Amino acid sequence: MRPGRTTPFALLGMLRLGPQSGYALRRELSAAAGLFWSESYGQIYPGLRELTRRGWAKRRVERGAGGGPRGRVRHRYEMTPKGARALQAWLALPPRRSAPRDELLLKLYLGDRDTVDAPSGWVRRLLLEETDRLRQVRRMMEILPRGTHAHRSLRHWLMALEFVERQSEASVAWCQRTLSTLELMQEANARRRTALQRRSPME
């Protein structure tokens, strides 16, 4: 597998839970794994084709209700022993860390007192997103031990989710502190503008 291609291994990992259709894989990836890993719909089917081409997965054709030539055709993918070995080899490799590219942080870093008003809206939006993300992951961590699931190792799943929980907690706390700081800066700006306006008629 050429460097930089994680999608096929993400799909292999989901297929290890059992045979699934492309639609089911997309749904599963957008559930628990979606909290820390995203795959677009356009990446899934090329990834599945790559798996079958390499012999890491095989495709089964199933017909739904109606039978015969008019029955609805579904494609389900199943991991092969060769795919299981490839997945185990990939899981043993050190994970690559993505270089940070956060435009909000870049704009804060490059900003000044003349651009202090706009970031408040951006940080509030991030606060809402991270609060919702935190709610989702906590709910998932609560129901997983009690529910039925196909994951091979609940402990590993919960480890990944706990990282997301801690990350979101830190983001929420940062947003709250940053909004307080921005509010103080806006108040200082308002006082500065008022002082300038008072001096202007006298000049």
Radius of gyration of the chain (CA): 25
Boundary (domain end) residue, out of 64, 91, 118: 91
Cα 187 to its chain centre, rounded Å, is 36
Residue at a domain's end among 56, 91, 126: 91
Flag whether 2 is in a domain: no
pLDDT at 117: 82
Q: What is the mean pLDDT of the chain?
A: 85
Token pair 């079958």 is found at 52
Residue 193 clears pLDDT 90, i.e. is over it: no
119-152: pLDDT as tens digits: 999 999 999 999 999 999 998 888 877 665 556 6
The answer to whether residues 74 and 111 belong to one domain is no
Question: Do 55 and 27 reside in the same domain of the chain?
Answer: yes
Secondary element (H or E) of residue 107: helix 103-110
Query: Does 145 or 164 have the greater pLDDT score?
Result: 164
**Token pair belonging to 102:** 């956060």
Q: In the prediction, which pLDDT does 3 show?
A: 45
In angstroms, what CA-CA distances link 130 with 103, 133, 136, 141, 168?
16, 5, 10, 16, 6
> Which pLDDT does position 149 carry in this prediction?
58
Look at residue 6 in the predicted model and tell me its pLDDT: 86
Distance, in Å, from the CA atom of 79 to the CA atom of 88, rounded to the nearest integer, reads 12
Whether residue 32 has pLDDT greater than 80 = no
Last residue of a domain, one of 91, 115, 141: 91
Look at residue 31 and tell me whether its pLDDT is greater than 80: no
Does some domain include residue 146?
A: yes
**Greater model confidence, 97 or 179:** 179
The per-residue DSSP string of 27-83 comes to HHHTTTGGGT----HHHHHHHHHHHHHTTSEEEEEEE-TT-GGGSPEEEEEEE-HHH
Q: Which residue has the higher pLDDT, 36 or 129?
A: 129
Q: How far apart are CA 78 and CA 56, in angstroms?
A: 9
Same domain, 57 and 126: no
* Domain count for the chain: 2
Q: Are residues 134 and 86 in the same domain?
A: no
Q: Determine, yes or no, domain membership for 96.
A: no
Domain span including residue 77: 7-91
pLDDT digits (tens, 9 = 90+) for 43-100: 888 999 999 999 999 998 877 655 555 557 788 999 999 999 999 999 999 988 877 7
